Amino acid sequence: MIVLPHPATRRPFGDVPHDARPYAVRMRDGIRLATDVYVPKQGQRWPVLLSRLPYDKAGDECFMPLIARWFTERGYAVVVQDVRGKIRSDGDTEPFRHEITDGYDTVDWISRQPWCAGPVGMFGDSYFGWTQWAAASSGHPALAALAPRVISADFRDLTHRQGIFAMEVCSLWAFETWIDEALYDYDGQLDWSIRPLCDVVPTALGGRPRPAFLDDAAKDRLGTIAQIPVRGDLPALHLGGWWDMTRRGQINTWRQSAAARRAPQHLVMDATDHGWTPVRDQGEPFVDPMADEATMVSFLDTYLAPMAPFFDATLRERSWPDAAPVRWRIAHGPWEQSADWPPPRSRPAEWFLVGDSRGGALHTVADDAERPARWLHDPHNPVPGLAHAYHPLIKPSDESATAQRDDVLVFQTEPLREPMDLAGPADVTLWLGATGSSTYIMARLIDVAPDGTGMRILDGAASAAPPWPAAVTVDLGSTGYRLRPGHQLRLELSSSEFPRYPIHPGTDADPWYQWDVRPTEQHVILGGQRAARLRCFVAPGGGTAA
């Protein structure tokens, strides 16, 4: 193993702000968790909002002190806590394992404080959205409402995509968060040329062992510890983004919660990514929320605004006139409301993949005769993943870069005459063959601008195994996206997207632990009874291809 000369560095812990009341809250097994309490300047008892996170309750990454002050100005007490084993909290660093009981014990502690008016709500993103589902499953009667953002109740929605390990995002998360009590930075990039792939993170850590979470995730061994049963018995505001990697699972969690019919469930989907970066028009610069105080104030108003009326309604019993079950923003378009997702006015539309081994067109009618579209998957030269694992909208990648490769099939419509609104889920159904004993198939849906640049809209990946050809449906997830006149809709197919996913070796070797590889030939059937096709939901009034 090669040890880098400049391994990862520990981030310093944030200083607890002067307006926070610090506590060490005792859990049932005697472990104490570092907890800060913020209270409004007026009054003595308030409804309480809680967030439990591993990213430093006083640090810059999640700016929890600023969020706490935003809510205290609106009459809420706010409690933020470092989860067990992280930053200033005691205990072992083990994701998932103690969040149900620690969530219960923390809510119980809050409910007994003199400044607590009774009901407790929870808020937070990603893992500290998941800790909300964990606390909810504990059944504490004081917990009254949830506002999880960019997360589902089943964490495996993040770690795997239809049988394929989400290697890049899991590796980065484990590297930054789950080594020990600290958070880690690295001044370079993870070296994805290292083999086997399981040694990439240890190398960046200067030879330290990789976190146990990473192996468990790679082998899909997280099991029920990372899965929270969805009961739907608490009002919840499910906040997601069209470019967030958890959006499939989040929409599924909302749907399961709503189906229980035990408490109101509201879905809000914005044109944002995991870090709540909004989509921008080509050439529009990225504005860092932390650039200055005024920019941060504006960001917080946008970021937190959906939660204020929700918590007022659930914790203060105030009216909420704008309480539609689903609110969603169409990218490059306006906000809309609907009773369900996909919106009832949206209808499925199909395009068949027509062409040859270089790709071709998306047509509404399939060719009569079957023909195979073939390509060679070479593990030594995988298709590169261009989108950032967490924040694809900070610096959007030009997805046209892979379209010229011989191992990528490209199918696209003619330029649109009118706008076309994609509003709902999408998938690709195809018959797939390979010369190996198994294979991967990756699909990317792209908006091609008149100048040829490509913006990724959706993507998916799935594993497949014999008998060949195997019927495969690649789930692309949901979107709300407006394709504008002159633009084209493109579908790309390949057998790799590295390092987003491990490279399929073309052999029976485990791509995470071994490097025994060989090139394999892949093919997709075009035309005939088994014609490959793309299905999307399209809102009426959209345009057609010229």
Q: What is the mean pLDDT of each run of 10 residues along the chain (546 residues)?
A: 58 96 98 98 97 97 96 98 98 97 98 96 97 97 98 94 96 94 84 95 89 93 91 96 96 97 96 96 90 94 95 92 89 95 96 89 94 96 94 94 94 96 98 96 98 96 97 98 97 98 95 94 97 96 43
In this structure, what are the phi and psi dihedrals at residue 213, rounded to the nearest 5 degrees?
A: -55, -40
Question: Are the C-beta atoms of residues 94 and 177 closer than 8 Å to each other?
Answer: no
pLDDT of residue 498: 97
Question: Are the C-beta atoms of residues 271 and 279 closer than 8 Å to each other?
Answer: yes
How much is the pTM? Answer: 0.95
Q: b/e string for 409-438 if b means 16 or more Cβ within 10 A?
A: bbbbbebbeebbbbbbbbbbebbbbbebeb
- Burial of 515 by CB count in 10 Å (0-12 exposed, 13-18 middle, 19+ buried)? middle
The angle that helices 127-138 and 99-111 make with each other, rounded to 10 degrees, is: 70
- In the block, residue with structure tokens 């009832």: 344
pLDDT of residue 357: 76
The fold of the 9-157+223-338 domain, in CATH, is Rossmann fold (3.40.50)
Pairing of strands 420-434, 470-483: antiparallel
Q: Retrieve residue 317's tokens.
A: 């019993």
- Residues contacting 137, CB < 8 A, separation 6+: 100, 228, 229, 231
DSSP-derived secondary structure letter, 17: P
* Alpha-carbon distance values, 311 to 37, 50, 96, 319 (Å): 18, 12, 26, 10
- In the block, residue with structure tokens 């633009």: 487
CA–CA distance, 304 with 69 (Å, rounded to integer): 12
For the structural domain made of 347-538, what CATH number should be given?
2.60.120.260
Question: Are the C-beta atoms of residues 334 and 66 closer than 8 Å to each other?
Answer: no
pLDDT of residue 543: 40
- Burial of 300 by CB count in 10 Å (0-12 exposed, 13-18 middle, 19+ buried)? middle
For the beta carbon of residue 30, count every other beta carbon within 10 angstroms: 8
Q: Retrieve residue 545's tokens.
A: 């291809």
pLDDT of residue 187: 66
- Residues contacting 292, CB < 8 A, separation 6+: none
Query: At 213, is the secondary structure helix, strand, or coil?
Result: helix
Where in the chain are the domains?
Answer: 9-157+223-338, 347-538
